[in-house]
Amino acid sequence: MTAAVRFSGVSRHYGDVRAVDDVDLSIAEGEFFAMLGPSGSGKTTCLRLIAGFEQPTAGEVSIFGESAHGVPPYRRHVNTVFQDYALFPHLNVIDNVSYGPMIAGTPKAERHRAAEDALEMVALPGYGSRKPSELSGGQRQRVALARALINRPRVLLLDEPLGALDLKLREQMQEELKALQRKLGITFVFVTHDQGEALSMADRVAVFNAGKIVQIGAPEDVYYRPEVPFVADFVGSSNVLPPHLVAKVTGQWRHGALRPEAVRLGDAGLGADGLHATVHSTAFLGAATRVSLDLEDLSMVALLPKGARIPQPGEQVHVSWAAEDLHMMEATE
Amino acid sequence: MHSDRAPLALKIAAAAGLAFMHLPILLIFVYAFTTEDKSYQWPPPGFTTKWIGVTWERPDVWEALSLSLKVAAISTGIALVLGTLCAAAVSRTRFFGREVVSLLVILPIALPGIITGISLRSAFHLADIPFSFWTIVLGHATFCVVVVYNNAVARFRRTSGSLIEASMDLGADGFQTFRYVILPNIATALLAGGMLAFALSFDEVIVTTFTAGQQQTLPIWMLEELVRPRERPVTNVVAMMVALVTLLPILGAYYLTRGTDTVAGQGK
Amino acid sequence: MSEHAIDPGRRGILPALSDLLWRNPRLVILLLLGPPALWLGIVYLGALFALLAQSFFSIDEFSGLIQYEFTLKTYRELFTPANFDIILRTVVMAASVTIAAAIVAFPIAYYAARYARGKWKALFYLGVMLPLWSSYLVKVYSWKLILAKEGILNWLFETLHLSWLLNAYLAIPVVGGNSLSVSATGTFLVFLYVWLPFMVLPIQAALERVPASMLEASGDLGATPGQTFRHVLLPLALPGVIAGSIFTFSLTLGDYIIPQIVGTSRRFIGQAVYAYQGTAGNIPLAAAFAVVPIVIMAIYLWAAKRMGAFDAL
């Protein structure tokens, strides 16, 4: 099957800045694909390369097997939900939503009917005559979604679409977006810096760092089986153990990832050859207690279940874990 | 907490300052109706509308007025095109030399008018261009560009770049995007800039004295009357007329940009 | 789905042109900038440089013809006592107008920025914009009416039985004269009136950027209102004052109409330029005189830029 979007050795450089650096990527049709990374990691630039707002400095982007080289955005059947929604302030909601069909030459009555349907789909029926300035953030987001979907794009791009919403609304929209994507079967490409959002919504996640994709895979893979320390830290909030510590316990010169809940704390007298740490601080989180530890130069976090003995700050503790909980990564970054 | 009541001294100073800015102009409206025709006597000995009729019959006033309106209209048209192009180029991308462009646009109004005027005059002289309607327009359009440019640049800045991207994303090419998104968003700013440019051109005297030759625009006509008064009551009426003609575009421009560019910083 | 993901593109000249422009953003800039750059760069700058070039020529004293040879002789002429006097008089006038404008403008700008709300704010804004944009000549004319011997100001002094005060003031040398309309004070008042709005707006813009909480913080730290004004408000408003002064200073330096209509017969730079290029036909000296305000403003702008005044424009 042809990939919906394919990057072959794509780079986008601005002078000396390598926003996107030699990226290979293949997104399958119908997939809900997330691009995750800190700001400036190149994920948004990749999205803009698909939309056609940017041109690659090197390599090629293809959409459904066709080269997008030199194709302006208005000739790509790809639509975007912008981070700031980019609703046209001089048009009301119905004219915003029916902008695409209007450009395509669809008669007024017909395109307004289509816009009403699209608004219904995003649960905003009857809002057509309002101006964007009269809507709440969540409503604007839905209008932007309806406007992008009315053209029936082959790929829908979403640039941090939930960033401006409050927590509760964001969770609700996550559910709705997921359901919408399943219903329409359109390929969604979603950019976010929020790992929770990426993990809960996407079929696959690409983790970006410094212009490169450092890992790509299903959410569980990225979360439980990070391949590089950056992913362990950014996605899983895991403790990244440097090779010399891992070598002490396992004899292997590799980076290790250890989830906070897998860390076991014991009496300082235990296992004289094991690892010892000093408790820095503790925080009660409800279901668990988070213990921050200083192990040599390394700051570690342990998550202790309810009922466990909580050590005091300043206390010396013995640190251990079950062998299968330590996830081994590449030898070097 | 600070109190939201201004100190009395501040109120008085502000009110006095505003009065100083407005009372003299109001005086023009009183003098236009005075019966005294030899001096600027105050208080006016009586009031009459007779001089409006007299002015109405004066062909030289009509000629000057019509020349001024024509010059202002054409200069505004040129300034609208050039100013908008400049603003679009400057706001579109960060290119090398955009500071230079901004400076170039502002220069004709930042330098004293007499310098612009005398430069153009000596350039016409060097190039053997005779004075005409078009030499006046050339000078006016040059300093009107900045007004349109300032208004347009402010609006372009507020019109986020993602609107243009959104339009292209939805299938509109460059020209359709200009027609359906850019133009509606900058239209009021252009209209406001155009009105101000019109007022500026209609009123301009310093550059015009150097580029006009024998033709008289209304301000040139007034200047002649000011330096060598012939018929004071007619000058009074013309002054009132000029004040009114410039007032309308200013108010219009204000209402067009109200709550957008102008009163920025309110509601923070 | 049979539909293509990429459109082959509409046929026609406009769509093809749109594609071409989209692929060449530099071409777009070139097309946008071309006409204004040609107009301003060639017509305006060309004329300006042609004028400046002439200041390096001189005029033959006997024939009255321009000698097209490079010389600094014309510039030396600027420093003859009579000409230097003109420059000095103009600069002193520009400086006093600027200082007075700052003093009168500050309360208006401060009130508008800090206390006026809603409708009042709009009214204040219009109250400054209207005089700013209304006709320059009408404004000058109104002062001719005011300052006339039989005019409203003299009438006011007489009605209040204060004519002796006015006469005493007019007896002072330099600022006084036969009557207000032929005194340096008269010229000063008209300049102040005409350029005042150019000072109010930048100060207001600068003051609006001072958050009210900052003034509260100063008061909270024990400063009296006077101290807050001196140590917090004034430094923050200074860029606005400087931005405004660029206008008042430059406009006064180059004006030749106001001193011609109201004031003494002593010349200002603008009048000198006008006279030398006109009846005297001494274009080189006129050009050299025109360079004076440009140089003064260049120095002034350079100093203002160093003080951060352009952020308030």
- Most confident listed range (B148-162, C7-21, C154-168): C154-168
Subunits in contact with chain A (3 or more CB pairs closer than 8 Å): B, C
Q: A75, A151, A187: best mutation site toward chain C, by most C Cβ within 10 Å?
A: A75
**Residue A32 sits in which domain range?**
3-233
pLDDT at B4: 60
DSSP 8-state class, residue B34: B
Distance in Å, alpha carbon of C168 to nearest chain B alpha carbon: 22
Residue B25 maps to a domain:
no
Residue C205 maps to a domain:
yes
Distance in Å, alpha carbon of C7 to nearest chain A alpha carbon: 5
What is d(CA B132, CA C169) in angstroms, rounded to the nearest whole number?
Answer: 48
3-state secondary structure of A158: strand
A226/A242 same-domain check: no
Q: Which residues in chain B have their CB less than 8 angstroms from residue C305's CB?
A: none
**A71 φ, ψ (degrees, to nearest 5):** -95, 120
Subunits in contact with chain C (3 or more CB pairs closer than 8 Å): A, B
Q: Which residues in chain C have their CB less than 8 angstroms from residue A64's CB?
A: 4-6
Strands of the A58-63 sheet, one edge to the other: A17-27, A5-14, A58-63, A66-67
Which chain B residue has its CA at the smallest distance from C141's CA? Answer: B226
Structure tokens at B95: 């290119």
| pLDDT tier, C105 (very low <50, low <70, confident <90, very high otherwise) | very high
- Per the CB < 8 Å rule, is C9 touching A75? yes
A163/A300 same-domain check: no
**Which chain A residues have any C-beta within 8 angstroms of a chain C C-beta?**
63-66, 68, 70-72, 74-78, 154-155
Residue B76 has pLDDT above 50, yes or no: yes
| pLDDT tier, B259 (very low <50, low <70, confident <90, very high otherwise) | low
- Per the CB < 8 Å rule, is B81 touching C45? no
Total number of domains in chain A: 2
Q: Which B positions 166-205 lie with beta carbon below 8 A of chain C?
A: 173-175, 196, 199-200, 203, 205
Residue C33 has pLDDT above 90, yes or no: no
What is d(CA A62, CA B155) in angstroms, rounded to the nearest whole number?
Answer: 37
The closest CB to that of A53, out of B165, B172, B184, belongs to B165
Q: Which residues in chain C have their CB less than 8 angstroms from residue A65's CB?
A: 5
DSSP 8-state class, residue A123: T
The pLDDT of A119-136, averaged and rounded, is 87
- Per the CB < 8 Å rule, is A74 touching B166? no
Q: Which residues in chain B have their CB less than 8 angstroms from residue C122's CB?
A: 258, 263
pLDDT at B263: 32
Are A303 and A261 within 8 A, CB to CB? yes
Residue B260 has pLDDT above 60, yes or no: no
- Per the CB < 8 Å rule, is C261 touching B95? no
Residue C260 has pLDDT above 70, yes or no: yes
C34/C94 same-domain check: no
- Per the CB < 8 Å rule, is A99 touching B168? no
* Dihedral over alpha carbons A14, A15, A16, A18 (to 10 degrees): 20
Last residue within a domain, chosen from A173, A201, A233: A233
Report the 10 Å Cβ neighbour count for A16: 5
Instruction: Give Cβ neighbours of residue B34 (< 8 Å, ≥ 6 apart).
Output: B41, B44, B45, B46, B47, B48, B233, B236
A220-233 burial, b at 16+ Cβ within 10 Å, e below that, comes to eebbebbbbbbbbe
What is d(CA C21, CA C30) in angstroms, rounded to the nearest whole number?
Answer: 11
Residue C4 maps to a domain:
no
pLDDT at A270: 65
What is d(CA A207, CA A234) in angstroms, rounded to the nearest whole number?
Answer: 9
DSSP H or E stretch at residue A291: strand A288-295
Q: C134, C246, C256: best mutation site toward chain B, by most B Cβ within 10 Å?
A: C134
C35/C124 same-domain check: no
Residue B245 maps to a domain:
yes
pLDDT at B267: 27
Residue C266 maps to a domain:
yes
Q: Which A positions 267-326 lie with beta carbon below 8 A of chain B?
A: none
- Per the CB < 8 Å rule, is A84 touching B160? yes
pLDDT at C309: 57
A139/A156 same-domain check: yes
C236/C302 same-domain check: yes
- Per the CB < 8 Å rule, is B115 touching C134? no
The closest CB to that of B18, out of C108, C114, C136, belongs to C108
Total number of domains in chain B: 1
C32/C164 same-domain check: no
Residue C157 has pLDDT above 70, yes or no: yes
Which chain A residue has its CA at the smallest distance from C22's CA? Answer: A72
- Per the CB < 8 Å rule, is C6 touching A66? yes
The closest CB to that of B175, out of C18, C104, C130, belongs to C18
Residue C296 maps to a domain:
yes
pLDDT at C308: 63
Residue A249 has pLDDT above 80, yes or no: no
- Most confident listed range (A174-178, B140-144, C98-102): C98-102
CATH number of the domain bearing residue B168? 1.10.3720.10
- Per the CB < 8 Å rule, is B42 touching C125? no
**Residue C150 sits in which domain range?**
81-307
Partners of B234 in the beta sheet?
Answer: none
Average pLDDT, chain C: 84
pLDDT at B252: 83
pLDDT at A50: 92
**Residue B232 sits in which domain range?**
54-257
- Per the CB < 8 Å rule, is C141 touching B11? no
- Most confident listed range (A305-309, B209-213, C220-224): B209-213
Residue B63 maps to a domain:
yes
Q: B113 touching C, CB under 8 A?
A: yes
A82/A142 same-domain check: yes
Q: Which residues in chain C have their CB less than 8 angstroms from residue A154's CB?
A: 1, 3, 5
Residue C283 has pLDDT above 80, yes or no: yes
Residue C226 has pLDDT above 60, yes or no: yes
How many CB pairs lie under 8 A apart between chains A and B?
64
- Per the CB < 8 Å rule, is A86 touching B162? yes
- Per the CB < 8 Å rule, is B167 touching A99? yes
Last residue within a domain, chosen from A214, A233, A252: A233
Total number of domains in chain C: 2
C85/C148 same-domain check: yes
A65/A194 same-domain check: yes
Residue C104 maps to a domain:
yes
CATH number of the domain bearing residue A312? 2.40.50.140
- Per the CB < 8 Å rule, is A66 touching C4? yes
Residue B46 maps to a domain:
no
Residue B36 maps to a domain:
no
C37-55 burial, b at 16+ Cβ within 10 Å, e below that, comes to bebbeebbebbbebbbebb
Burial (CB < 10 A; 0-12, 13-18, 19+), residue A17, is: exposed
The pLDDT of C174-188, averaged and rounded, is 86
Q: A71 touching B, CB under 8 A?
A: no
pLDDT at B1: 39
Residue A93 maps to a domain:
yes
| pLDDT tier, A331 (very low <50, low <70, confident <90, very high otherwise) | low
- Per the CB < 8 Å rule, is B114 touching C128? no
Distance in Å, alpha carbon of A158 to nearest chain B alpha carbon: 12
What is d(CA C56, CA C75) in angstroms, rounded to the nearest whole number?
Answer: 8
Q: A14 touching B, CB under 8 A?
A: no
Distance in Å, alpha carbon of A86 to nearest chain B alpha carbon: 5
Q: C1, C3, C4, C6: best mutation site toward chain A, by most A Cβ within 10 Å?
A: C6
Last residue within a domain, chosen from A188, A213, A233: A233
Closest by CA to C146, choosing from C156, C136, C137, is C156
Q: Which residues in chain B have their CB less than 8 angstroms from residue C130's CB?
A: 22, 247, 250
A72/A205 same-domain check: yes
Q: What is the pLDDT of residues A180-203, one digit of tens each?
A: 898 888 999 999 988 888 888 899
CATH number of the domain bearing residue C176? 1.10.3720.10
pLDDT at B54: 85
DSSP conformation letters of chain C = --S-SB-----SHHHHHHHHHHH-HHHHHHHHHHHHIIIIIIIIHHHHHHHHHHTTSEE-TTT-PEE-S--SHHHHHHTSHHHHHHHHHHHHHHHHHHHHHHHHHHHHHHHHHHT--HHHHHHHHHHHHHHHHS-HHHHHHHHHHHHSTTSHHHHHHHHTT-HHHHHHHHTSTTT--SSGGGSHHHHHHHHHHHHHHHHHHHHHHHHHTS-HHHHHHHHHTT--HHHHIIIIIHHHHHHHHHHHHHHHHHHHHH--SHHHHSS-S---HHHHHHHHHTTS--HHHHHHHHHHHHHHHHHHHHHHHHTTGGGG-
What is d(CA C221, CA A75) in angstroms, rounded to the nearest whole number?
Answer: 62
Structure tokens at B189: 């700013």
Distance in Å, alpha carbon of C142 to nearest chain B alpha carbon: 6
Q: A2, A55, A74, A186: best mutation site toward chain C, by most C Cβ within 10 Å?
A: A74
Residue C20 has pLDDT above 80, yes or no: yes
pTM: 0.80
Q: Which residues in chain A have their CB less than 8 angstroms from residue B166's CB?
A: 80, 82, 86-88
The closest CB to that of B89, out of C32, C122, C139, belongs to C32
Residue A333 maps to a domain:
no
- Per the CB < 8 Å rule, is C4 touching A64? yes
Q: Which residues in chain B have their CB less than 8 angstroms from residue C251's CB?
A: 112
Residue B261 has pLDDT above 60, yes or no: no
